[in-house]
Amino acid sequence: MMTPEPNSAVSTITAMLREAQEAPQVVASLLDSNTPLCRDLGERLRASPPPFAVTCARGSSDNAATFVKYLLEIHSGLVTASVGPSVTSVYEARPRMRDALFLAVSQSGRSPDILNLAQAGRDDGALTVALVNDTSSPLASTCEVVLPLHAGPEKSVAATKSFIAALAAGLQLVAHWSQDQDLLNALDTLPEVLAKASAVDWSSALPLLSDADNLFVVGRGVGFAVAQEAALKLKETSGVHAEAMSAAELMHGPWTLAGDHFPILVLSQQDETLSGVNDLVTKLNEHGVPVVVAGAAEGPASVMLPAVEDVHPYLAPIALIQSFYPLVNAVALARGRNPDSPPRLRKVTETV
């Protein structure tokens, strides 16, 4: 596996940037270590297919759960619901989850509301699976099956390598469950794809994004999760009021907000959504909206960012967020903020 070179969008090596650049090796370790676990879990799921799936997460982990939701619904045909943890922790309700696949995604595995919902799922007879970085955590003990994220210590408040690891873990589970050989073959290339993505230069977007106080981040389908993650990172590290929008939902009213001081970042992959995303980029350009385009979408745009080419569409969003992290690190620094220690935030947030 190649070692990524520093992205030229970066002027200072922060803990966030350093940890993001560790993601290719983290994913290589995860894929190797978790293969037997995913094979066994995939066999179990094929023998007893769940009627539906439930995801449970907060923050960046919930963005990763969005990615798994789209994979399960598009690739596996399994209706998947994101259940709010407050349903059990605050309202003390007990949703029926018998025989469902319950996926909890967490870095720390310690938030009481996540634990409460996971316990409720297991008590009701769901197959509970934790995608968690801390395998000694209460969440790992609560769930029947644990898929470790293998991200190692993450010092920056802003999650990077653990988020990418969660995407990889979810994709690996789906690949082994479906026994899709093309997807399994593509998965083997993911560490190399991420190493290349880490070295891609997105510095041309820095002037536009660092001057923006408001921003839409657009994605669609399997790419919507990384639009959510990019928007969250812009908020927490850079103080930019960024909102993730589906390319379809944007045109149902919100796009009227966009303009000279309200740009749009478009993240896209080469799949069935691309035609609609291209149409959106064209329309935004026609109305003079500043647009930054990354991925498979074509211009015209204010800024066109390079991306790793010839990537499986399920891998492409993971590569895009790998390229994005050095850029948002630079945006934060340009705005005079420390991306490792955003104001009022801690590494582990525990909610009820």
Find, among 60, 59, 57, 78, the residue nearest to 69 by Cα.
78
Are residues 35 and 127 part of one domain? yes
Are residues 223 and 190 part of one domain? no
Instruction: Determine the Cα–Cα distance for residues 162 and 85; give it in Å rounded to an integer.
Output: 21
351 within domain boundaries: no
Single-letter amino acid, residue 194: L
For residue 118, the Cα-to-chain-centroid distance in whole angstroms is 21
Are residues 240 and 183 part of one domain? no
Q: Is 139 helix (H, G, I), strand (E, B) or coil?
A: helix
Last residue in a domain, options 136, 163, 197: 197
- CATH number of the domain residue 300 falls in: 3.40.50.10490
Find, among 328, 294, 242, the residue nearest to 17 by Cα.
328
Are residues 90 and 147 part of one domain? yes
Last residue in a domain, options 178, 197, 216: 197
Split into its structural domains, the chain has a count of: 2
pLDDT of residue 348: 55
Are residues 193 and 179 part of one domain? yes
- pLDDT per residue of the chain (352 residues) written in tens, 0 to 9: 544 554 544 457 899 999 999 999 999 999 999 999 999 999 999 999 999 999 999 999 999 999 999 999 999 999 999 999 999 989 999 999 999 999 999 999 999 999 999 999 999 999 999 999 999 999 999 999 999 999 999 989 899 999 999 999 999 999 999 999 999 999 999 999 999 999 999 999 999 999 999 999 999 999 999 999 999 999 999 999 999 999 888 877 787 788 888 999 999 999 999 999 999 999 989 889 999 999 999 888 899 999 999 999 999 999 999 999 999 999 999 999 999 887 766 555 556 5
Are residues 178 and 247 part of one domain? no
10 within domain boundaries: no
Q: Supply the Cα-derived Rg of the chain in whole angstroms.
A: 19
Find, among 83, 145, 138, 134, the residue nearest to 115 by Cα.
138
106 within domain boundaries: yes
110 within domain boundaries: yes
Are residues 263 and 293 part of one domain? yes
Per-residue model confidence as pLDDT tens digits over 275-333: 999 999 999 898 899 999 999 998 888 999 999 999 999 999 999 999 999 999 999 99
232, two tokens: 């969250």
Are residues 166 and 271 part of one domain? no
Are residues 207 and 149 part of one domain? no
Are residues 291 and 242 part of one domain? yes
Whole-prediction pTM: 0.94
Residues spanned by the domain of 126: 15-197
340 within domain boundaries: no
Find, among 256, 258, 207, 215, the residue nearest to 233 by Cα.
215
Are residues 190 and 213 part of one domain? no
Are residues 152 and 265 part of one domain? no
Provide the Cα torsion 166, 169, 170, 172; round to 10°: 160
Last residue in a domain, options 138, 168, 197: 197
206 within domain boundaries: yes
1 within domain boundaries: no
